[in-house]
Structure 1
Amino acid sequence: MTPRAATRPVGTVTRGTTNPNRLRRMDRWIAAVHGAELRRAQRPVAVDLGYGAAPWTAVELLGRLRTAAPRTAVVGIEIDPARVAAARPYEREGLEFRHGGFEVPLPAPPQLIRAANVLRQYDEDQVAQVWSRLCARLAPAGPHGSRGGLLVEGTCDEIGRRHVWVALGPEGPRTVTFAARLASLDRPSDLAERLPKALIHRNVPGEPVHAFLRDFDRAWAAAAPYASYGARQRWIRAVRDLTADWPVTDGPARWRQGEVTVAWEALAPRGR
């Protein structure tokens, strides 16, 4: 890919902390739900935006996406030039690293932008502008049922046990996914501490995300008899009960992975 002319990166330097396998749950979800779009693209490109002080997450993203779409290339983009220089020795076929930020300095729109643990340090009122900028950089919707590129923005804990992320297309937010290593979970609302910036300050009475987590905890408690069959069966039962009142967009195949995905409109902050 031919680089664009140099521009000043948009954004601020993050703490850069990262660990191997931290984003495996997010990566596997992307491969499962977005793999068809990647396969459909002539030259599928995925961006690991703000990969941090070490390139592990970009290296792992390439391997996981290629299980679903073998022609996928990954570009790691970092606003700190020293981190880019440190990552360059890891470049290989299909993997490169570039200096940049929210402007996403690529010659063509990517099919995927993953921005994990990037917006935690930003103010809530900055999120909409960042989302809009990144969504504008995605590959547009096209013929034959293509919905265009995907932005996945969210947060997780340091070792990847608990995640919450928002998936957005060129048109804007689509869904919110909650994912966990179920053995580490006392109750679903434990995931509240990993809500992305757009939602974390809205986990208060009167806001939809608070109501959702309250109902999820109630469904989890009601499913307690299933715990004798394991945390996975209890989770599946609780999510199945949630579908009576909440627009869950996935099914048992994803629930078994310790996930549940809900339409964004149901959880969007009041007044947005």
Structure 2
Amino acid sequence: MGKPTGKPIGEVTRGTTGHNRLRRADRWVVAAHGRSLRSATRPLVVDLGYGASHTTTLEMFLRLRAICPSVEVVGVEIDPARVAAAKPYERPGLSFTLGGFELPVARPPLLVRAFNVLRQYGEAQAWGYWAMLSERLAPGGMIVEGTCSEVGHRAVWAGLDRSGPRTLTLSARFDSFERPSDLADRLPKALIHRNVPGEPIHAFLRDFDRAWAVNAPLSSYGSRQRWIAAAETLAGTWPLAERPPLGGRSRWRLGEITLPWSSVAPE
């Protein structure tokens, strides 16, 4: 996989970023894909559209290096000024380059993180870019594509492989919402306009709100216990991941829930 030539594919984003904004997604990546990174030879990870600052790419690099010392991370940005500003922070295993969805890297990546980059596109375009990124993955590779709030306290992301979307994860700090459906504004572009009656994602969020309400008495023990109980209630009717690394109490206690994409895929 050589570096593509020509104009980068995509549009410049707002570039909003900040320290620890993507910590929730990185924590999930370590749990869900740490083993595959450690078992790979020279695993390459791409942080696509890292924004106006190198910060979240550097944080991802440090988190992944802690569990896989051989990992290489490349931050890809479509704005030349942002790339130039990030260059001084390069170090062995971490680099920044100009590009877009074409992924101008030397070899197929095992993992691509793309956060807050598809919000400005239409649903059809988002599906197209998902397909483009999937085609560029290494065998067994994954994409983590999603959106988070300004400070990262509410986030939703899809996990994709070369065949398409496989999982959907909702993650939130317990004091950042009143009910789980508040996370609807962070849904991936492929789902955000499908949150209407008759669509599976709407039914899921409705049932999540009900499970949250039913377990309101547990609030006296803290929102974490209420979230765990709501997840256990939901698992009776929805195919939540119920065992590590994607599910179970160890993940639920973090304010995180993962379920198969097929259960919420658009009608």
Tell me the TM-score range normalised by the shorter chain. over 0.9
Ranges of 4+ aligned residues in structure 1 off by more than 6 Å:
none
CA distance in structure 2 between the partners assigned to 1:52 and 1:87 by the alignment: 10
* Partner amino acid, structure 2, of 1:155: T
**Superposition deviation, residue 179 in structure 1:** 0.0
**Superposition deviation, residue 7 in structure 1:** 2.7
CA distance in structure 2 between the partners assigned to 1:220 and 1:39 by the alignment: 37
**Superposition deviation, residue 68 in structure 1:** 2.2
Q: How many residues get paired?
A: 262
2:244 aligns with none
Per the alignment, in what secondary structure is the counterpart of residue 8 of structure 1? Answer: coil
CA distance in structure 2 between the partners assigned to 1:139 and 1:18 by the alignment: 28
Q: 1:115/1:19 Cα in 2 relative to 1: closer, same or farther (>3 Å)?
A: same
Per the alignment, in what secondary structure is the counterpart of residue 31 of structure 1? Answer: helix
CA distance in structure 2 between the partners assigned to 1:109 and 1:257 by the alignment: 32
Q: 1:157-168 residue pairs with structure 2 within 5 A?
A: 157-168=149-160
Matched, 1:264 2:254: no
* Partner amino acid, structure 2, of 1:264: W
**Superposition deviation, residue 66 in structure 1:** 1.7
Q: 1:178/1:5 Cα in 2 relative to 1: closer, same or farther (>3 Å)?
A: closer
**What is the aligned counterpart of 2:248 among 247, 251, 270?**
251
Matched, 1:169 2:166: no
**Superposition deviation, residue 125 in structure 1:** 1.2
* Partner amino acid, structure 1, of 2:127: A
Length-normalised TM-score, structure 1: 0.94
Q: 1:3-18 residue pairs with structure 2 within 5 A?
A: 4=3, 6-18=5-17
2:142 aligns with 150
* Partner amino acid, structure 1, of 2:101: F
Matched, 1:30 2:32: no
CA distance in structure 1 between the partners assigned to 2:250 and 2:227 by the alignment: 12
**Superposition deviation, residue 6 in structure 1:** 3.1
CA distance in structure 2 between the partners assigned to 1:71 and 1:257 by the alignment: 28
CA distance in structure 1 between the partners assigned to 2:255 and 2:117 by the alignment: 23
CA distance in structure 2 between the partners assigned to 1:257 and 1:68 by the alignment: 20
Matched, 1:220 2:217: no
Matched, 1:130 2:122: no
Per the alignment, in what secondary structure is the counterpart of residue 76 of structure 1? Answer: strand
**What is the aligned counterpart of 1:205 among 190, 197, 216?**
197
1:51 aligns with 50
For the 8 Å contact 1:14–1:52, the answer to whether it is kept is yes
For the 8 Å contact 2:47–2:113, the answer to whether it is kept is yes
**Superposition deviation, residue 149 in structure 1:** 0.9
Per the alignment, in what secondary structure is the counterpart of residue 182 of structure 1? Answer: coil
2:101 aligns with 102
CA distance in structure 1 between the partners assigned to 2:131 and 2:5 by the alignment: 22
Matched, 1:195 2:194: no
Per the alignment, in what secondary structure is the counterpart of residue 120 of structure 1? Answer: coil
**Superposition deviation, residue 3 in structure 1:** 6.8
Matched, 1:240 2:232: yes
CA distance in structure 2 between the partners assigned to 1:243 and 1:153 by the alignment: 24
2:115 aligns with 116
Mind listing any 5+ residue stretches in structure 1 that lack a counterpart? 141-147
Mind listing any 5+ residue stretches in structure 2 that lack a counterpart? 242-246
* Partner amino acid, structure 2, of 1:267: V
* Partner amino acid, structure 1, of 2:143: L
* Partner amino acid, structure 2, of 1:261: T
CA distance in structure 2 between the partners assigned to 1:230 and 1:5 by the alignment: 51
Residue identity (%): 61
Q: Spell out, residue by residue over 1:220-260, the C-alpha distance to the aligned partner (whole angstroms, 9 max, x if none).
A: 00111111111001000000110111111221111011000
Aligned-pair Cα RMSD in Å:
1.2
